[in-house]
Amino acid sequence: MVNSPADVSEKPFVLSRLLGALAGLPKTSRYWVAYSGGLDSHVLLHGLFALRGKLSAEVHAVYVDHGLQAESGDWAVHCAAICQSLDISLQVIELHLKPEKGESLEAQARRARYQAIESLMAEDDILLTAHHQDDQAETLLLQLLRGAGPAGLAAMPAEAGFGKGFHARPLLGLSRKALSLYGAEHQLTWIEDKSNNDLSYDRNYLRHQIIPLIEERWPSMGRTLSRSAQHLGESQSLIDELAREELKGLLGVEPDTLSILGLRELTPARARAVLRFWIREVGFPLPDTVRLNRIFDEVVTARADRNPVVSWLGTEVRRYRDCLYLMSPLPELDSAVVLAWDLNAPLTLPSGLGQLKFERDTVGIASDLIEGKSVEVRFQHSGERLRIGHLHSITFKNFYQQNAIPPWRRSRLPLLFINGELAAVADICVTAPFLGQPGLCLLWEYKY
């Protein structure tokens, strides 16, 4: 290929920039390259191949087949052939996406892709993606048009924690044109995804219709916006530092809970920053501004005896007494189910409620009152009172309140019945008629 003078001036030292970016990353023994078969990821993969003598880590590629295009199977074959020619191992992951209400297919595919890749990664592995300067500029513009705050406008960081390791974007300092020149110079062959020209996607519309007009007036737009994103990233880091310090004094006793009274003492801006940071730290997606405001308007300010909930993709924020609870949506449970248990092995509970098992202990369910008897686990009671002492019994309602059990957990507590009589409520208490020593201690292995 013969380059024009303009091409030559645009041609960067791709390999040296790539090597410099890798040198700044944490030490690792394995890189995972997210390889789609397109130009960008092919340049990244080929660059790592060219630098193999200077790398101390193994290079592996992963292709995720979303099953959204008829050609995706052929693309997997192409990726396998390229990786074989470079002597790089390839892992192919097939996804079967089910559209979720309230989330675009593009966002769902991205989330599923990263979840699949994360499952492959071991301690300190680094995922490398081929995002470049133009991707950064496009993301910044998209987020700006969506009304995003500093975290969204910071677009894509060069490096961030990911799963058990890290996620790095070593090509962020390079333009799309630079990668094209590298691909032509090395006679690379890549896949052209026709969906990248579909203007119904916001990113494609920006890329093909809007950005070329801006670049006519401001040719260095990509580099300039990428620099702005970096500045915003630094600002967000400062906000996160403040939020991290505030959060230390607001965490509840239970995991993934937050003090409402403490949150109310903060200024609105600090409270929002803490809430966003807390949600990200626990590992859930951030809500949009409308839902974030609903958390404050409907949950934080609600009366202590109310139990409101705000939901978004795979996430719920609930309230009980003085605590905010951050959690995944509760799966459906058939409360009428009855599970027979022979005690020879742990009992797996339905709806992701974990397992029940026994350990011998000095105090628990008296051994002679359970061994050889009919043992069942249920999730419904008949309104009977709980006998928790020889002369004392309470209603289930009082039991729940005394033990600070939130309403949404109450119908999910496994109830142990022996010969038809209530013997234990989860691993919280043993009823008086069955308490003895030596005994069997009931353990419930479940993360709320």
Instruction: Output the pLDDT for position 372.
Output: 86
Instruction: Output the pLDDT for position 74.
Output: 87
What is the average pLDDT score of the chain?
89
Instruction: Output the pLDDT for position 391.
Output: 63
Q: What is the CATH topology of the domain spanning 5-220? A: Rossmann fold (3.40.50)
Instruction: Output the pLDDT for position 446.
Output: 84
> For the residues 94-121, what does the mean pLDDT come to?
80
pTM of the full structure: 0.80
Instruction: Output the pLDDT for position 128.
Output: 97
Instruction: Output the pLDDT for position 79.
Output: 95
Q: Vertex 329, ends 325 and 335: CA angle to 5°?
A: 105
Give me the residue spans of the domains in the chain: 5-220, 249-327, 338-445
Q: Is the pLDDT of residue 262 over 80?
A: yes
User: How would residue 11 be classed by pLDDT, with cut points 50, 70 and 90?
Assistant: very low
Residues 6+ apart with CB under 8 A from 20: none
Q: Is the pLDDT of residue 361 over 90?
A: no
- CA pair distance 282, 291, nearest whole angstrom: 18
User: pLDDT by residue (tens digit) across 294-345?
Assistant: 999 999 988 877 888 999 988 999 999 899 999 999 889 998 999 999 988 9
Exposure string of 45-74, with b = 16+ CB inside 10 Å and e = fewer, is bbbbbbeeeeeebebbbbbbbbeeeeebee
Instruction: Output the pLDDT for position 8.
Output: 38
Q: Is the pLDDT of residue 448 over 70?
A: no
Q: Is the pLDDT of residue 223 over 80?
A: yes
3-state SS assignment for residue 327:
strand
- Considering the chain, what percentage of its residues have pLDDT values greater than 70? 94
Selected from 2.60.120.260, 3.60.15.10, 1.20.59.20, 3.40.50.880, the CATH number assigned to the domain covering 249-327 reads 1.20.59.20
User: pLDDT by residue (tens digit) across 26-73?
Assistant: 999 999 999 999 999 999 999 999 999 999 899 999 999 887 677 777
Of 376-380, 389-393, 396-400, minimum mean pLDDT range:
389-393
User: How would residue 102 be classed by pLDDT, with cut points 50, 70 and 90?
Assistant: low
3-state SS string for 373-430: CCEEEECCCCCCCEEEECCEEECHHHHHHHCCCCHHHHCCCCEEEECCEEEEECCCEE
User: How would residue 7 be classed by pLDDT, with cut points 50, 70 and 90?
Assistant: very low
User: How would residue 101 be classed by pLDDT, with cut points 50, 70 and 90?
Assistant: low
Instruction: Output the pLDDT for position 9.
Output: 42
Q: Is the pLDDT of residue 99 over 70?
A: no
User: pLDDT by residue (tens digit) across 290-303?
Assistant: 999 999 999 998 88
